Amino acid sequence: MTHQVSKFDLHTHHERCGHARGKIRDYIEAAIERGLNTIGIADHSPFFSYEEDQAFPKISMAKSEFPVYVKEVQKLKQEYEGKIEVLLGIEADFFPEHIERYRPYFDRYPFDYIIGSVHQVDGISIFNKRRWNRLNEQQQVQTKETYYQLIEHSARSGMYQILGHIDAMKGFYPEFSNIQTDVVEKTLKVIGENDVAIEINTSGKTKDVGGWYPSDVMLEQANHYGVKVTFGSDAHDPERVGDEFELVAKRLKEIGFKEWCFFRQKERVIVPL
């Protein structure tokens, strides 16, 4: 299905997760102001595997807020109809041992898409720079391989339409990209085979590494393996909505991509580049 939509952003957060600024409406208004046709709201899902209602208040919303979140996005979807398309998404942490705990919560609601993101490796945040201090070369390779094995597992799970920021582990450790292993290419092949999209996420510029996730090298490999791509600013502030959309589109064309996509009712909508 081809739909002429020129500008979209599928990855935005808001104050409910505890570490973003502004309400959902603020992100929609920012999207309209920046000329977007489609805006996806994809805040961090609750930690459904914990007993507590809100296990990590600075990381994600409470379980009790989840249906309230869905209802609010649905209400705004209707309110803004004709002005901008509002999509209901969520960004879910990928924990292989808990995937079946998450699935029923997502199946209950009419999500347009679900972003699966690996935020922890060996129980430590991927953004924890200190994790690298005590690792020798072999252990660094092992850590990178574990990260990509988790991403590969998430691609095979069938739960996600999009995989989030697939080299974000470089965020506060730019040397991550130089750790040599063929696991990255293997993972991209699996993502392509499982027909899951990856996002070009422009929030890397807010971290030490600068730039985007994933790297150009990975995008070239992704193109080779027929991986579909989409766009997400990962905005935690309304000012970043749609950030560098045009630059990303230009780069993708240079790499050889002909199209990218977004998701409506979990169906891929193709947008020519």
- DSSP per position, 196-222: -EEEEEGGGGGSTT-S-BS-HHHHHHH
Preceding omega of 214 cis (within 30 degrees of 0): yes
Kindly give, in sequence order, each residue whose CB lies less than 8 Å from that of residue 125, ignoring residues fewer than 6 positions away: 119
pLDDT per position as a tens digit, 106-165: 999 999 999 999 999 999 999 999 999 999 999 999 999 999 999 999 999 999 999 999
Query: Three-state secondary structure along 86-121?
Result: EEEEEEEECCHHHHHHHHHHHHCCCCCEEEEECCEE
Confidence (pLDDT) at 6:
85
* Single pTM value for the model: 0.96
β pairing state of 162-163 and 197-201: parallel
H or E, element range at 75 = helix 66-79
Q: Which amino acid, 66?
A: F
Separation between Cα atoms, residue 100 and residue 78, nearest integer Å: 31
Whether the CB-CB separation of 226 and 188 falls below 8 Å is answered with: no
Q: What is the pLDDT of residue 2?
A: 44
Structural contact between residues 162 and 197, judged by C-beta atoms closer than 8 angstroms: yes
- What string of DSSP letters covers 43-72? PBPP-TTSSSSSS-TTTS--GGGHHHHHHH
Can you list the residues of the chain whose pLDDT is less than 50?
1-3
pLDDT at 3: 45
pLDDT the model gives residue 201: 98
Q: Which two tokens stand for residue 59?
A: 């990381």
